[in-house]
Amino acid sequence: MGKPTGFLEYDRKLPQDRSPEERMKDWGEFHTHFDIEELKTQGARCMNCGVPFCHTGSPIEGGCPLGNLIPEWNDLVYHGKIEEAYKRLSMTSNFPEFTGRVCPALCEGSCTLGMHEPAVTVKNIEVHIIDTMFAEGKVQPRIPRKSTEKRVAVVGSGPSGLACADILNQLGHKVTVFERSDRIGGLLMYGIPNMKLDKKIVQRRVDLLEKEGITFVTNTEIGKNYSSASVIKEFDAVVLCCGATKPRDLVCEGRNDVKGIYFAVDFLKANTKSLLDSNLEDRQYISAEGKDVIIIGGGDTGTDCVGTAIRHGCKSVHQIEIMPEAPECRTAANHWPQWPRIRKTDYGQEEAIKLYGRDPREYLTTVTKVVPDEKGNIKEVHTVQVEWENNNGRMTPKPIEGTEKIWPCQLMLLAMGFTGPEDTLIKQLSLETDARSNVKAEYGKYATSLKGVFAAGDMRRGQSLVVWAIHEGREAAKACNEYLNQK
């Protein structure tokens, strides 16, 4: 450790984001970078503690699922050895430019320094390392030295699919990635807005993977315009990384009789596609311009909808959340090194506060009815506040009489998460599923009930984080490689 007392001498600092007033006017990324000297100072705060938890990757206790050796590259950054830090980071992480932008930083939640002081700025250091290496031309194609001539199909090009394809390609297999959309990237391309993850960053990595030998096939959905039987027959192994893309719907009076209600994933995808195709000039997106927007769901996707609606020029925006507001600090039941479930004001809320003078989130509130106008378009949203009761060990929301409210609304977005993977391909291949409708494949083995077919990411574990998807893609590739070596 280069600076044994660094954590005592320096405070946690992050580079100043672009101001809400500035960034609301465009679709550019809002995060910025420190200069190298300040980055060294932040790297010096890493304690190199005796038993670090930052890279444990435990579903219960937190930490990085990729096993990133964070203290090592923090120390290298402190000494100004950015290229060496990149080499160390690349040993465990396929795409630090993605996780460094969109990961909630599980590593920081379990940072030992975080027990008593603000955690080390791991995420910011990570993204600075990789962006510096790209800027200096140090990230070059890694061409596999030999080929096994074994052919593998990876279905889905989200974070798990790309990570899986990357590992399998480096192991010498001939990898083809199938994607049903017109661009590669899955969730990274169309599920996350440009201001949080610039699509040039995604395409830059895709171009690199293509130079390394991976074949990408777009506008092709296995099970629809490319038969599942053909994939099984033509390839030596198949890895399914199709995600958990079946959105959870809203159940309330009038839901099926009103126009103007959309799933958040459709709203965000159409916006990004139009942005990339024509800078929104083709108008092929769901516009929030001049509308009162109600978003159901208080998570990251809801926040992305807030930011997108504001950039469209919405009249107002509110997030309806049935859960209570998180506390300011950890509770006794949420001890370190677990991920801290505390209140967070994200970029979308910051922008709404600046624009409208208030936080858009409404907690402990649920929708009871949606009302159309004379043309059938949504006009009003009726809500009621709730309190959570313990009914025989199960917490359930109970409406509070007298708290009913009517909200004007011309656009409603459902950001309530996902219930599991779409089942067309699952049924065609007669794959076993678990109780939550995910593809059944044991963690660590990733093999499905059909020989030679593997599953990884959200399709196997359910809706989760980008970093867990990358972890699953890496591990499924290793399992698939073992299978291929035995053929």
Give the tens place of pLDDT for each residue, 43-71.
Answer: 999 988 888 999 888 877 789 999 999 99
Question: Does the residue 1 lie in any domain?
Answer: no
For residues 423 and 403, membership in a common domain is answered with: no
* CATH code of residue 31: 1.10.1060.10
Percent of the chain topping pLDDT 90: 95
CB 471 within 8 A of CB 103: no
Band of residue 250 on the pLDDT scale cut at 50, 70, 90 = very high
Residue 5's pLDDT is: 92
For residues 408 and 264, membership in a common domain is answered with: yes
Domain-ending residue, one of 416, 446, 461: 416
Alpha carbon 247 to its chain's center: 15
Question: Does the residue 370 lie in any domain?
Answer: yes
Dihedral of alpha carbons 359, 365, 371, 375, sign: positive
One DSSP character per residue, 106-149 reads HHHHT-GGGGTSPPP-HHHHHHHHHHHHHHTT-------S----
* Ranges 45-49, 338-342, 428-432, most confident: 428-432
For residues 84 and 39, membership in a common domain is answered with: yes
Beta bridge mates, 35 = none
Question: Does the residue 144 lie in any domain?
Answer: no
Domain-ending residue, one of 416, 446, 462: 416
Residue 48's pLDDT is: 80
* CATH code of residue 280: 3.50.50.60
Question: Does the residue 142 lie in any domain?
Answer: no
The three-point CA angle 330-31-107 to 5° equals: 40
For residues 401 and 297, membership in a common domain is answered with: yes
Percent of the chain topping pLDDT 70: 100
Alpha carbon 8 to its chain's center: 33
CA atoms of 169 and 474, how far apart (whole Å): 11
CA atoms of 199 and 188, how far apart (whole Å): 8
Contacts of 304 (CB under 8 A, 6+ apart): 192, 193, 196, 264, 268, 348, 415
For strands 361-362 and 316-320, give the pairing. Answer: parallel
Retrieve residue 382's tokens: 């009726």
Question: Does the residue 128 lie in any domain?
Answer: yes
For residues 466 and 366, membership in a common domain is answered with: no
pLDDT at 125 over 90: yes
Domain range for 105 is 6-135
**Residues 69-108 pLDDT 10s:** 999 999 999 999 999 999 999 999 999 999 999 999 999 9
For residues 299 and 358, membership in a common domain is answered with: yes
For residues 178 and 284, membership in a common domain is answered with: no
Dihedral of alpha carbons 196, 95, 422, 225, sign: positive
Beta bridge mates, 387 = 398
Strand order in the sheet with 411-414: 261-263, 411-414, 292-296, 316-320, 361-362
pLDDT at 2 over 80: no
Cα-based distances in Å from 299 to 305, 323, 367, 387: 10, 11, 17, 20
CA atoms of 339 and 106, how far apart (whole Å): 6
For the residues 248-262, what does the mean pLDDT come to? 97
For residues 385 and 425, membership in a common domain is answered with: no
CB 133 within 8 A of CB 82: yes
Going by C-alpha positions, the residue among 360, 416, 406 that lies closest to residue 379 is 406
Question: Does the residue 364 lie in any domain?
Answer: yes
Domain-ending residue, one of 416, 433, 468: 416
Residue 1's pLDDT is: 65
Q: In the chain, how many domains are there? A: 3
For residues 226 and 258, membership in a common domain is answered with: no
Cα-based distances in Å from 131 to 139, 339, 390: 10, 26, 49
For residues 405 and 354, membership in a common domain is answered with: yes
Retrieve residue 206's tokens: 């895709």
pLDDT at 290 over 70: yes
CB 214 within 8 A of CB 165: yes
* Mean pLDDT taken over the chain: 96
CB 380 within 8 A of CB 370: yes
Going by C-alpha positions, the residue among 243, 131, 222 that lies closest to residue 180 is 222
For the residues 161-186, what does the mean pLDDT come to? 98
Backbone angles phi, psi at 413, to 5 degrees: -120, 130
For residues 127 and 270, membership in a common domain is answered with: no
For residues 394 and 284, membership in a common domain is answered with: yes
